[in-house]
A and B are shown apart, each in its own frame.
Chain A
Amino acid sequence: MASAPRPERVPRLLAGCLPPPPPPPTVGLLSMEQEETYLELYLDQCAAQDDLAPPRSPLFNPVVPYGMYILNASNPDTAFNSNPEVKETSGDFSSVDLSFLPDEVTQENKDQPVISSRHETEENSESQSPQSRLPLPSEQDIGLGLNSSSLSNSHSQLHPGDTDSVQPSPEKPNSDSLSLASITPMTPMTPVSECCGIVPQLQNIVSTVNLACKLDLKKIALHAKNAEYNPKRFAAVIMRIREPRTTALIFSSGKMVCTGAKSEEQSRLAARKYARVVQKLGFPARFLDFKIQNMVGSCDVRFPIRLEGLVLTHQQFSSYEPELFPGLIYRMVKPRIVLLIFVSGKVVLTGAKERSEIYEAFENIYPILKGFKKA
């Protein structure tokens, strides 16, 4: 019988497995020279990687292996983030070639206030803790799904932290999350598809709105042409309009569900039209708490996928039961999206509250699926 390991041996074993302790964090802002040194170190590494990469813009090169994809995709962001710092450090980086930066990245940040605020907060935290910008990319292994999810996890951790923290806390996980965030690709609002030019199309949006008044469903069904009401079957009026082509469920409490729109704006317009119809029927309907509850998108990766292999390697996320359903159900953790993946390469993404979640989920799943392309 094997004896239990002696307690004093265990910590040593564990110590061997732990990553080396982080460098002692400095409190407060670093001096300019120290910032420069760390920045140079990091950019030198990235420049070396750039030399290895093909000369084409890395964002549009579909053949780049995944490791390079992470590094190159991160480069535009870090290089872009470093721009304000370039001015601070007296133009030392004028020789850095930023021509591979696509126009869309800069455009996005002008249009979307959300993204720019994220950038600002990132810049703030980065200027405070550049010591954490150690060459981490080389240490990352090519563990696809977990890698991207861990990156995005740390990215999300940044948000609650950065608004409050003035100084970087000495805890290891926080510095790690900030360092990881500095190379995390930003989730674009417009689909800049780094992988291949495939963009998921939105197929259905479900939204709810509160009309804030009690409704007489019998009266609505009588006076509206486009309404159907069968109280024995379902306790709501089913109303349809032609433009945008949608269906609404209107309940007597005044709550309404609007389905069938192909974009968020169309869903909002349709909900307003339904509210207007109810208004015209004589009810004091208002338009409160409009909220998108679910978004469904679909796309085609255009190659067959070995679902049996995918369920073996991603067991904790996938559920594939051919006796029940021909597709594989992949529950992505970050973002929290459910994907239905079929053998023909068609992918359905659902469960999103925002358009960016659908795009992000597809960006995450595409490299995984490419891994299963070869039969």
Chain B
Amino acid sequence: MPGRGRCPDCGSTELVEDSHYSQSQLVCSDCGCVVTEGLLTTTFSDEGNLREVTYSRSTGENEQVSRSQQRGLRRVRDLCRVLQLPPTFEDTAVAYYQQAYRHSGIRAARLQKKEVLVGCCVLITCRQHNWPLTMGAICTLLYADLDVFSSIYLQIVKLLGLDVPSLCLAELVKTYCSSFKLFQASPSVPAKYVEDKEKMLSRTLQLVELANETWLVTGRHPLPVITAATFLAWQSLQPADRLSCSLARFCKLANVDLPYPASSRLQELLAVLLRMAEQLAWLRVLRLDRRSVVKHIGDLLQHRHSLVRLAFRDGTAEVETRGKEPPVWGQGQREGEVGNNSLGVAQGKRPASPALLLPPCMLKPPKRICPAPPVSTVTGDENISDSEIEQYLRTPQEVRDFQRAQAARQAAMSVPNPP
């Protein structure tokens, strides 16, 4: 038959598809040579006789693609399967890996780098589909260092000229919250700690949005904020039973690692909530503190937009004028204290003046005042006096002393290790 190839023995093109005891065979009708034998042939011989073989199993890939690249591509597919990503992600990640491999710098890189590159390709694919995969998660899967990962990730994004969107916070909240083991009673989780997933998710999402609006998320790692928000949401849904549980214990019984910054994020979030509570008349009289405000988080979240507007004034304009006028109210406060007591009591009852809406790093006082450097009149061509240079040189006596000291040190170091 035309287009089927030639018989290896006699070279005729008359090949016939036949079956011998239900095993299909391709036989040359001239000399009777069996060209292919169905299941008992190798891929190589199949290809040689123009039978169809899938490309990934064929020798074509082996010839064009180096062994380390094949290994890398296999690792990419395995990683996608481990993470249970949709099948389309796999193809995209493989494509990125191949694209990266075309650059000579990547081809010549160490194996460790190629291993991390696998993770980078998967991460970029997930980011582009808004799949919330954190770098920390990839690093633990690859047993890689975050520093190494970060350098290769930034390098590959620049090399391939890719547009990688930011981590989608809402999606991350959903997947991270779902990983908390609090939705069913178990020996470690008493019934009063079990919570409904939907209620907790919605409240956590609202708290994270609030944190984002009040500058608690920008510039920080997203995960600790979500941990703190989840904890507050869980506590606020049944405060009577759960106020006694600490953040660390919460993470332990939910079977989730507690990230180190989560406790400071928690304090910052509580401070924001306290400021918002000051604006509600019925909460102001209660004189809430960091523990009691948790009971009212539901109310605060319901009116969060207007409360944030009321509780905080724009910090941006304030900071600019701060440089020009020193704050006058500091003096006023001191005078109030020195003056009559009745005035002081009245001032205590007055609602707090709106705080500045600024990132926490701008609210803290500066660690040290950096004075403007003195204007130097150095021209670079001044004369250099000999005495100035001499101060840096050892006198001959000092040189001899130094050499003697060095020799003594060498001798002392070699003594503990006798030959």
Contact = CB atoms under 8 A, between A and B. Distances in A.
Contacts of B58: none
A302 interface: yes
Nearest to A273: B384
Q: B215, B218, B222, B322 — which one has the most chain A CB atoms within 10 A of its CB?
A: B218
Contacts of B146: 324
Contacts of B135: 321, 323-324
Interface in A289-331: 302-304, 306-308, 311-312, 315-316, 319-327
A265 B378 contact: yes
Interface string B124-160: 0000000000111000000000100010011001000
Nearest to A244: B378
A307 B389 CA distance: 49
Contacts of A30: none
Contacts of A269: 378-382, 384
B57 interface: no
Interface residues of B, number: 51
Contact of B359 (A243, A302, A344): A344
B384 A272 contact: yes
Given A322-B220, A324-B150, A343-B359, A224 B376 contact: no
Interface in B182-227: 213, 215, 217-222
A280 interface: yes
Contact of A223 (B314, B378, B399): B399
Nearest to A62: B320
Contact of A224 (B154, B361, B394): B394
B413 interface: no
A304 B312 CA distance: 14
Contacts of A110: none
B55 interface: no
Given A304-B359, A344-B362, A223 B379 contact: no
A201 interface: yes
B319 interface: yes
Nearest to A272: B384
B382 A277 contact: no
A57 to B, nearest CB: 19
B361 A344 contact: yes
B163 interface: yes
**Residue of B163, B361, B403 contacting most chain A CB atoms (<10 Å):** B361
* Residue from B316, B359, B381, B403 with most neighbouring chain A CB atoms (10 Å): B316
B257 interface: no
B319 A303 contact: yes
Contacts of B323: 302
Interface in B13-55: none
A302 B319 contact: yes
Nearest to A227: B392
B315 interface: yes
Given A322-B221, A323-B222, A222 B399 contact: yes
A226 B392 contact: yes
Contacts of A288: none
A276 B384 contact: yes
A9 interface: no
A151 B406 CA distance: 62
B283 interface: no
B157 A319 contact: yes
Q: Which of B221, B389, B398 has the largest count of A CB atoms less than 10 A from its CB?
A: B389
A264 B378 CA distance: 9
B339 interface: no
B412 interface: no
Nearest to B396: A223
B358 interface: yes
B380 A265 contact: yes
Given A322-B220, A374-B316, A343 B136 contact: no
Contact of B373 (A201, A276, A277, A344): A201
A133 interface: no
A77 B146 CA distance: 50
A343 B215 contact: yes
Interface in A215-252: 222-226, 241, 243-244
A325 B146 CA distance: 11
Contacts of B345: none
Contacts of A312: 166
B365 to A, nearest CB: 13
A355 B167 CA distance: 36
A155 interface: no
Given A277-B392, A307-B218, A323-B134, A263 B213 contact: no
A344 to B, nearest CB: 5
B265 to A, nearest CB: 13
Contacts of A277: 389, 392-393
A300 B213 CA distance: 22
A61 to B, nearest CB: 15
B380 to A, nearest CB: 4
Interface in A258-280: 262-269, 272-273, 276-277, 280
Contacts of B219: 307, 322, 326-327, 342-343
A159 interface: no
Residue in B157, B166, B316, B392 whose Cβ sees the most chain A Cβ within 10 Å: B392
Interface string A332-375: 00000000001111000000000000000000000000000111
Interface string B384-409: 10001111111000110011000000
Given A323-B134, A342-B219, A375-B314, A304 B389 contact: no
B220 A326 contact: yes
Given A315-B163, A323-B167, A241 B215 contact: no
Contact of B378 (A263, A276, A326): A263
B372 interface: yes
Given A304-B215, A326-B220, A319 B394 contact: no
A345 B134 CA distance: 27
Contacts of A320: 166
A182 B219 CA distance: 41
B272 interface: no
B357 interface: yes
Which 7 interchain pairs have the tightest Cβ spacing? A268-B380, A265-B380, A343-B219, A326-B219, A303-B316, A324-B150, A265-B378
Given A225-B391, A374-B314, A374-B316, 6 more contacts: A265-B376, A269-B378, A302-B319, A323-B167, A324-B135, A343-B219
Interface of B: 134-136, 146, 150, 153-154, 157, 163, 166-167, 213, 215, 217-222, 314-316, 319-320, 322-323, 357-359, 361-362, 372-373, 376, 378-382, 384, 388-394, 398-399, 402-403
Interface of A: 201, 222-226, 241, 243-244, 262-269, 272-273, 276-277, 280-281, 302-304, 306-308, 311-312, 315-316, 319-327, 342-345, 373-375
23 contacts: A222-B399, A224-B392, A224-B393, A225-B398, A241-B392, A244-B378, A266-B376, A267-B380, A268-B380, A269-B381, A269-B384, A273-B384, A276-B384, A277-B389, A303-B319, A303-B320, A308-B166, A316-B163, A321-B154, A322-B167, A323-B135, A324-B153, A324-B154
